[in-house]
Structure 1
Amino acid sequence: MTVHPAPTALWPAPHASGAVDATVHVPGSKSVTNRALVLAALASEPGWLRRPLRSRDTLLMAGALRAMGVGIEETVSSASSVSGERVTGEAWRVLPTDLHGPATVDVGNAGTVMRFLPPVAALADGPVRFDGDPRSYERPLNGVIDALRVLGARIDDDGRGTLPLTVHGAGALDGGPVEIDASSSSQFVSALLLSGPRFNQGVEVRHIGSTLPSMPHIRMTVDMLRAVGAQVDTPESGGEPNVWRVTPGALLGRDLTIEPDLSNAQPFLAAALVTGGKVLIPDWPARTTQPGDRLREIFTEMGGSCELTDYGLEFTGSGAVHGIDVDLGDVGELTPGIAAVAALADSPSTLRGVAHLRLHETDRLAALTKEINELGGDVTETADGLHIRPRPLHGGVFHTYEDHRMATAGAIIGLAVEGVRIENVATTAKTLPDFPDLWTGMLGAA
């Protein structure tokens, strides 16, 4: 686990004086925005992204595509919300072009950027160098690097299987069949599928690992590919287990309105659960591939209730928070927030199926164990998750390890525990800009 620096820029986590009652407009989905940017950049005609998330991860993705020649124009437009209202917001017009190097890509610590763009760079004419934050050097990329080499790409990584690296684009890529082990990240599969329509032979990705986390994210990739005209065969559509095939072909430009980020809605729903209050998230989609949609089921089991209306999702806490025994393998990004709620519950919890979180923005299992325990908690790290026994907690510094979901987990605990101070809450800008203002605004509405 990354050693945290001396605590600086401590943010006093607001303590809830009563039940929250608020409407929170959650910004657009990072996962959808970054996939949409890649598909629009590879399309045969211009496209629009309306109400995109504007955060560090998405701006890094846009900047990387611009470095390879893609035009991305920012403007203001109006679009229909789920509830039928006309909503004015930012829009990005994406103008695809022949990709080219030399270019330099800063991935920050964004898994989608570091994994989705090397296949794109293989289609560019010229070298594209990838670099990022120090933590990005520790995150595995071998699944993408090795697969691209099999498919015909030339990549220099000095044999590390991690950043920094250079993709020597040749303007095209043969493609074809490839075997990968995506046990550490489903993004390895998505990365190859997203660019697959532009490979000369398309791509056939066969996962040969023992587990495959975050399947909803692969389904999101497949749905978005099909929406822009790609032909994709999947295990769910009658294909072989653990095999995805993408046929070569042109991609259409789309006019896409980005859904709210349901995983980023988690701390606000948790606030209703922890305080016995009520939070409304407008424009929660009736059908979605976002992993965050499972919060409706998980937080209901932990003591809340929810109603999905034409306007959005209304979530209400009962005043009691119950422990849970749950496999989060498909929705691992929800683990920090669920762990925070579990630490405030009336019975123990076991969170399973998330060994891969040790390779995320930080080692999330070790970080959650250490930080909750330092506030008086009783968390034990297991082989594939956490066991949490609720105990009375006290104030203290909650370190974030430059991990946005650690910061929001600390904020959840701070609602019920006075004196929690969060180190570097600004790291939430990775996917949830203006989180402190949204958080205090929610409490101000109580």
Structure 2
Amino acid sequence: MTDSTPQNDLWPAPTATGAVNATVTVPGSKSVTNRALVLAAHSTEPGWVRRPLRSRDTSLMADALRAMGVQIDETVNPDGGEAWRIIPAGLHGPATVDVGNAGTVMRFLPPVAALADGPVRFVGDTRAYERPLGGVIDALRTLGARIEDEGRGSLPMTVHGAGSLAGGGVEVDASKSSQFISALLLSAPRFNKGLELRHTGRTLPSLPHIRMTVNMLRTAGAKVDTPQDGGVRDVWRVAPSALLGRDLTVEPDLSNAAPFLAAALLTGGRVTIPGWPRRTTQAGDALRTLFTEMGGSYELTDRGLTFTGTGTVHGITADLHDVGELAPVVAAVAALADGESTLSGIAHLRMHETDRLAALAKELGGLGGDVTETDDGLLIRPQRLHGGLFRTYEDHRLATAAAVIGLVVEGVEVENVATTAKTLPDFPELWTRMLAGPADGPGGSDGPTEAAHDPAGPAYGSGSPADGSRAGRG
């Protein structure tokens, strides 16, 4: 865990004055947007990505693909929603890709670069050089790619694309990140021999994200055979094939709904997230179960998800192995619960944007909390919290977790809240509008206030996956 953000950039987290009553339209899913961009770049014909997330991570992905020759035209739909037209072209170098600190960019694009004609240099933020990439690098070398990384197994590096890649069989230990598997699967239809990928690690985190990758590949026309249980030594097979240009609409980012649903839970309020899909491969769908176990209730209708809190929050024992991205906000809620919580299965969070386990233990502890790191998670014993500085370590999910604490603890100052732009643009505005309450004030309109980033339309990413995933866990 590093602390490289200036501490003078502080945001006073607003405190709720009563029960939150709001409708919050969250922007599109980063995971879906970046996968859709990669698949469209590999397609044999133009395609559309509608209502994409526009954030730092997705902008980095789009700029990187443009640098390798892909044309991405940004337009606006008649209803006001944004749409990106992707026109694939021959991938080429020389090019330089800035990955920032985006795991999807640093891991999804080296296989794309291996298919380009010419060298592609990968650089990024300081933290990006510390994040694991060896699984992708070693696998690409086995499949026929030439990569210069000076033996680091991490950035910076150069992929010397030869215009094609042999493909075939490869073993990967993806216990540090499921993105190792998704990265190879997304480009596998373009490999001469396709791909037979065997996972060799002891664990495999974030399975919903792999299921998302598989579903999106199939929608684009790829033939993918998947394991049944998503366990150790499972095998994925992708046949070489042409991908079709599709017209895809991106679902709301359900993981980014976490702080807003937490607001309803903590204040005994009511928050609606429009466009919440009835079936989805997004990890954030698990919030329905997690926050219900912690004391709330929900209703899922054609309009979306409405979550209602009672103002009483219970501790929880939860294995978050599949949905680790939810851990920071869940930990923040747990620190305000009426009993002890144990969050497990999330050792891999030590290698995310920052060491999230160490950061949560330190920052919640700095506000008076009792949080202990375990081998694979956190033990949280609620204490009376007080105001103070909450460092974010340039991690967007720590910033939203701090905002959640600030709802009921006065005087919380969040360092560099702007880091939320990584996946949730305009978060401070969304947050304050949510807290403003009904536009007519108390005793006025019965309807909730609308805190909107971009109206949500019919969403891509839902459906009944054929690889054994189930609604509520991915």
TM-score normalised by L of structure 1: 0.97
Runs in 1 of length 4+ with deviation above 4 angstroms? 237-241
Which residue does the alignment assign to 2:170?
178
Structure 1 SS opposite 2:256: coil
* Change in 2 beyond 3 A, CA 1:101/1:6: closer
How far did residue 131 of structure 1 move?
Answer: 0.2
Using the alignment, how far apart are the partners of 1:47 and 1:337 within structure 2?
Answer: 35
Q: Distance in 1 between matches of 2:209 and 2:162?
A: 29
Secondary structure at 1:388 match in 2: strand
The answer to whether structure 1 residue 276 and structure 2 residue 268 are counterparts is yes
Q: Counterpart of 2:204 in structure 1: which amino acid?
A: L
Alignment match of 1:346 (pick from 338, 361, 371) = 338
Residue 40 of structure 2 is aligned to residue 40 of structure 1:
yes
1:236 deviates by 2.5
2:355 to 363, 367, 387: 363
Displacement after TM superposition at 1:318 (Å) = 1.2
Which residue matches 1:72? 72
Cα distance in structure 1, aligned partners of 2:297 and 2:288: 8
Q: Check the 8 A contact 1:281/1:313 in 2, yes or no.
A: yes
**Residue identity in the other structure for 1:264:** N
Match of 2:142 among 144, 150, 155: 150
Question: What is the TM-score with the length of structure 2 in the denominator?
Answer: 0.91
| CA-to-aligned-CA distance 1:392-418 (integer Å, 9 cap, x gap) | 000000000000000000000000000
- Counterpart in the other structure of 1:424: 416
Q: Gaps (5+ residues) in structure 1?
A: 79-86
Contact 1:378 1:389 (C-alpha < 8 Å) held by counterparts: yes
**Equivalent AA in structure 2 for residue 370 of structure 1:** K
Distance in 1 (CA, whole Å) between partners of 2:178 and 2:252 is 22
User: Residue 251 of structure 1 aligns to which amino acid in structure 2?
Assistant: L
Which residue does 1:400 correspond to in 2? Answer: 392
**Structure 1 residue aligned with 2:55:** 55
CA offsets per residue over residues 128-180 of structure 1, 9 Å max, x none? 00000000000000000000000000000000000000000000000000001
- The percent of aligned pairs where both chains have the same amino acid is 75
Cα pair 2:207 2:230 within 8 Å, conserved? no
Quote the residue 1:83 is aligned against.
none
Unaligned ranges ≥5, structure 2: 439-474
Per-residue Cα deviation, 1:183-208 (whole angstroms, up to 9, x for no partner): 00000000000000000000111000
CA contact (8 A) 1:12 1:422 kept: yes
Quote the Cα distance in structure 2 between the aligned partners of 1:18 and 1:242.
49
Distance 1:4 1:135 in 2: 10
CA distance in 2, matches of 1:223, 1:319: 38
Matches of residues 67-216 of structure 1 in structure 2 within 5 Å? 67-78=67-78, 87-216=79-208
Aligned to 2:235: 243
Alpha-carbon displacement from aligned partner over 1:277-296 (angstroms, at most 9, x marks no partner): 00000000111000000000
**1:295-334, aligned counterparts within 5 Å?**
295-334=287-326
Deviation at 1:88, TM superposition (A): 2.9
**1:6 Cα deviation after fit:** 5.0
The count of residues paired between Structure 1 and Structure 2 equals: 438
The code of the aligned residue for 2:421 comes to A
Contact residue 202 and residue 232 of structure 2 kept, 8 A: no
1:14 corresponds to:
14
For each residue in 1:249-304, what CA deviation from the matched residue of structure 2 results, as whole angstroms up to 9, or x when unmatched?
00000000000000000000000001110000000011100000000000000001
d(CA) in 1 for partners of 2:186 and 2:263?
A: 36
Partners of 2:339 and 2:62 in 1: CA distance:
45
**Cα root mean square deviation, aligned:** 1.2
In 1, the alpha carbon distance for the partners of 2:378 and 2:4 equals: 21
Structure 1 counterpart of 2:251, which letter? E
Q: 1:235·1:241 contact (CA, 8 Å) conserved in 2?
A: no
Q: Secondary structure at the match of 1:205?
A: strand
Give yes or no for contact 1:55–1:432 (8 Å, CA) kept in 2: yes
How far 1:7 moved relative to its partner? Answer: 1.3
Shift of 1:4: 4.5
| Contact map agreement 2:118 2:160 (CA 8 A) in 1 | yes
Question: 1:379-418 alignment to 2 at 5 Å?
Answer: 379-418=371-410
AA aligned to 2:110 is P
CA distance in 1, matches of 2:231, 2:63: 36
Once the 2 structures are TM-superposed, how far is the Cα of residue 241 of structure 1 from its aligned partner?
A: 5.5
Aligned residues of 1:68 and 1:101 also touching (Cα < 8 A): yes
Distance 2:230 2:309 in 1: 41
CA distance in 2 between counterparts of 1:307 and 1:6 reads 42
Instruction: After superposition, give the CA deviation of every residue in 1:277-335 in whole Å (9 maximum; x if it has no partner).
Output: 00000000111000000000000000010000000000000110000000000000000
AA aligned to 2:385 is L
Residue 349 and residue 270 in structure 1: after superposition, are their counterparts in 2 closer, same or farther (change >3 A)? Answer: same
**Aligned residue in 2 for 1:81:** none
- Displacement of 1:445: 2.0
Q: Cα offset for 1:3? A: 3.2
Query: Match of 1:233, as an amino acid?
Result: D
SS at match of 2:155: coil
Shift, 1:382, TM fit: 0.3
Q: Is the 8 A contact 2:390 2:414 kept in 1?
A: yes
Measure, in 2, the Cα distance between the counterparts of 1:358 and 1:383: 11
